[in-house]
Amino acid sequence: MKVIPPGFRKLWKEWDLRVMVLLSLALQIILIVLGRRRRFDSRLWIRIVAWSAYLAADSVATFALGILSGNLTDLFDEHAKALGANTELEAFWAPFLLLHLGGPDTTTAYAFEDNELWLRHFLKLIVQTIIAFYVFLMAWTGGSRLSMLSIPMFLVGLIKYGERTWVLWSASYEKLRQSLFSSTRPHPYDDIEFFTKEYYLKITHGYVTRPTLVSEVQLRTEKLLRAHGCLRLTKGLFLDAALRSRDRDSSKSVFRNLSFEDAFKVIEMELGMVYDLLYTKAPLLYTLWGLPFRLLTFFVTGCVLVLFTFLQRSQKQKYSKVDLCVTFSLLVVAIILEIYSAVFMLIPSDQFLIWLTRRCINSKSPRWSRKMCQLSLLSFIVVEHEPKPLPCRKILKLLGIEKKLEKQWWVAYEEVPEDLKEVIFRFFEEKARETKPWESNSKSSFIMVPRAQGNVDDDDKLITEAAPNFEDDLGKSILFWHIITEVFYCLDEQIFEADIAKHCESIKQISRYMFYLLLVHPSMFSIGVLDLSSFEYTVHRFRDEIQEVVPNYHSKYAACRDLVKEVYYSKFRSSDRLLYDASRAAASLRKNLGEQAQAQGQGLALAEKWNELGGTWLKILAFAARKSKGNQHGQQLRRGGELLTHVWLLMAHFGLTDHYPMS
């Protein structure tokens, strides 16, 4: 008994090669479009489709080459005679499959680690080139013009595949470190101990001193040139390399003279260049031979299209209409993709625009998503509006990805407000002025988890004084302060005055953003993150405990109001000490706020509380950024980027990370 019916087997035998070639072509289109979009679009479906296309593209092209070589081998074994016109036309597809294996310009690697597999791709380059050359030789007929057209297309495919292998090699960790340190030249100011002694000796003698080291580009040049001038420092950060004191001083001298808008714009450009370096063919396009190769492949493909058009009209033998459509699709789409790469990747890219900056020409294309994800614990507990159910829950649970997608299901996306950027910039600008060159950043109080020796049961303490000592446990600190911030914002939202409403909104956004990173991307913190092995269990337990004292709630405001009241009168005790401490601290501060409001006025007391919360969250943000690793930030670039990456890079430019030597 045959499992597959003979009719279907015959149909598949006739169409298998065509289907695989067209599928390979479709995957190239998906990759070149989504490869560009994923740098500034953080939506989940784009990541899933791009990931699926990236994994399938090489396999499909390789499978199609195998079918093609197998068909030719079987044909010669059975008939040992001249090839038919359609078979020769199918063999003409082999160079295009080699071209597809080279991948589009916008996607050479999907993840940061893919660059480390360059040696594997080099081996595949050799093997697949041999197979394609085997097909070329098997289908070669001396008097055939189509065979002659295969030669230039074979050259194009070989160039494209070689480009991809070279780019992966150049973006590998070891090669990046070599390029970073090979360009390092000794500088007298690298002796930070001597420089620091001279600096303070001048101050002692009454001299007025200021930073004089500047970037290789002048401060009045375009922001893009500033970003390019800082590219060496940025590469070193992503490689977690120890940087020179000269880099710190020159970077600080530049960023101290920038507005917060220009500073974040420069950082955005820097990250755009790093994305191009890690995930695209941009580094190749700006070499001495990159652009000539690109012009050569475009010109050759265009000439082959024109010659093939005349060839199929002049040939007496009749090609299959389906095969002709496939061939024209391969040629036309190859040219369109070349044009697309030039228009949407080469021309708008930052490196291409460097020489245009004197004419004030700048790229308007986004370099990252400019969004910060928001996730609220309170939204899990109090559902004011019934959300859409997670589709195919049983299938997702069977695949083991239900909980991961469930977290994403609750995520909201918000634009990063300019007010928040300014608050962050001013905070680090001030701390950079206060930090001395010889001080260790790891011992700076503003980049440590907020702590105190007080007790949460002490009602006379303010919230930062009554917080538990988390011993640099960032996960517990985020969860603790997130609960407090959510409760306060829910209760205070109706009495916010216009002058502090935006400030409180920004603090809430930081809280929800850090809670999102804790649950969805905990690896970014690179420390002992809170063990939430069963997030659903933690949320359900907290919700059940609240329901025991605050039953039948339908709004966040009512739930928070009654929760604070019940906690204060000791009617609520959570089995989780952290959750209880957060609830108790919220109730204590609520009482203190009422007392302060009577003495100072409600508006002043409210402003003091939220200023205190804002300072706490900025310290947590700084601590999280300092503890993060460069490779984790590199991973986020392909997901649309993260605000934490921009904060991390801003701190580095102000000399507030651990990448610099200390005398």
Instruction: For residue range 102-157, list pLDDT tens digits in order.
Output: 999 889 999 989 999 999 999 999 999 999 999 988 888 766 788 899 999 999 99
Q: Does 377 share its domain with 419? A: yes
Six token digits for residue 38:
């994923």
Instruction: Out of 305, 331, 347, pick the residue that ends a domain.
Output: 347
Long-range contacts of 537-546 (CB under 8 A, 24+ apart): 538/576, 539/377, 539/380, 539/381, 541/575, 541/576, 542/377, 542/381, 542/574, 542/576, 542/579, 543/380, 543/381, 545/572, 545/574, 545/575, 545/579, 546/381, 546/572
- Residue 109: HSE in the Cβ half-sphere, 13 Å Cα cutoff: 28
Q: What is the pLDDT of residues 596-635, one digit of tens each?
A: 555 555 667 777 888 888 999 999 999 999 888 888 899 9
Are 287 and 384 part of one and the same domain?
A: no
In a domain, 273, yes or no: no
Do 559 and 455 lie in one domain? The reply is yes
- Which has the minimum average pLDDT: 175-189, 404-418, 435-449, 645-659? 435-449
Burial class (CB in 10 A: 0-12, 13-18, 19+), 531: exposed
Residues whose CB is less than 8 angstroms from the CB of residue 119 and which lie 6 or more positions away in sequence, other chains included: none
How far is residue 597's CA from residue 594's CA, in Å, rounded to a whole number? 5
- CA–CA gap between residue 128 and residue 97 (Å, rounded): 9
- The neighbour count for residue 413, using CB atoms within 10 Å, is 12
Does residue 424 lie within any of the structural domains? yes
499: in domain: yes
Alpha-carbon span 259 to 269, nearest angstrom: 15
Query: Measured between alpha carbons, how far is 29 from 622 in angstroms, rounded to an integer?
Result: 41
Proportion of the chain above pLDDT 90, given as a percent: 28
Element (H, E) at 35: helix 6-37
Q: What is the rounded distance in angstroms from the CA atom of residue 485 to the CA atom of residue 582?
A: 10
Averaged over 475-503, what is the pLDDT?
81
**Alpha-carbon distance 57 to 547, whole Å?**
51
| Chain center to CA of 217 | 28
Helices (H), 38-117: 44-78, 85-91, 94-101
Cα Rg of the chain, angstroms: 31
The CA distances from residue 411 to 291, 351, 394, 546, in Å, are 42, 34, 21, 23
| CB of 407 closer than 8 Å to CB of 375 | yes
**549: its two tokens:** 């004292």
More confident residue, 17 or 588: 17
Question: In angstroms, rounded to a whole number, what is the distance separating the alpha carbons of residues 582 and 155?
Answer: 66
- Chain segment 61-103, per-residue pLDDT in tens: 999 999 999 888 877 766 555 677 888 889 999 999 999 999 9
- Residues 403, 295: one domain? no
Q: Residue by residue, what is the 3-state secondary structure of 506-523?
A: HHHHHHHHHHHHHHHCHH
Same domain, 340 and 458: no
Q: Give the confidence band of 519 by pLDDT, cuts at 50, 70, 90.
A: confident
Same domain, 403 and 532: yes
Average pLDDT rounded to a whole number, residues 295-302: 93
Residues 456/584, Cβ–Cβ less than 8 Å: yes
Query: CA 237, CA 250: separation in Å to the nearest integer?
Result: 15
Amino acid 179 reads: S
**Amino acid in position 184:** T
What is the spatial distance between Cα 637 and Cα 624, in angstroms, rounded to a whole number? 18
Three-state DSSP class for 413?
strand
> Would residue 275 count as lying in a domain?
no
Residue-level length of the chain: 663
Q: What is the pLDDT of residue 195?
A: 47
How far is residue 327's CA from residue 323's CA, in Å, rounded to a whole number?
Answer: 6
Within a domain: residue 187?
A: no
Cβ pair 405, 389 in contact under 8 A? no
Q: Which residue has the tokens 């990063």?
A: 416
466 vs 456: CA distance, rounded Å: 5
How far apart are the C-alpha atoms of 218 and 598, rounded to whole Å? 55
Give residue 35's pLDDT band: very low, low, confident or very high (50, 70, 90): confident
Other C-beta atoms lying within 10 Å of the C-beta of residue 12 = 11
- Token match 């216009």: residue? 498
Q: Verify that 431 and 329 share a domain, yes or no.
A: no
Confidence at residue 590, expressed as pLDDT on a 0 to 100 scale: 65
- Alpha-carbon distance of 309 to 604, in angstroms, equals 79
| Rounded Cα distance, 636 and 581, in Å | 33
Q: Are residues 19 and 135 in the same domain?
A: yes
Assigned domain for 536 exists: yes
311 and 377 share one domain: no
pLDDT, position 152: 94
Cβ neighbours of residue 344 closer than 8 Å, sequence gap 6 or more: 36, 106, 365
Question: What is the residue range of 316's domain?
Answer: 6-177+281-347
Alpha-carbon gap, residue 622 to 640, rounded angstroms: 21
pLDDT of residue 452: 46
User: Is 11 within the bounds of a domain?
Assistant: yes
The answer as to whether 571 is a domain residue is yes
Matching residue, tokens 């991307």: 521
Task: For residues 312 and 394, state if they share a domain.
Answer: no
How many domains does the chain contain in total? Answer: 2
The identity of residue 591, as a single letter, is K
CA distances from 372 to 41, 249, 332, 334, 385 (A): 11, 30, 40, 37, 22
pLDDT of residue 448: 57
pLDDT computed for residue 214 by the predictor: 42
Q: What are 372's strand-pairing partners?
A: 414
Same domain, 343 and 376: no
Give pTM, 2 decimals.
Answer: 0.82
User: Are residues 464 and 339 both part of a single domain?
Assistant: no
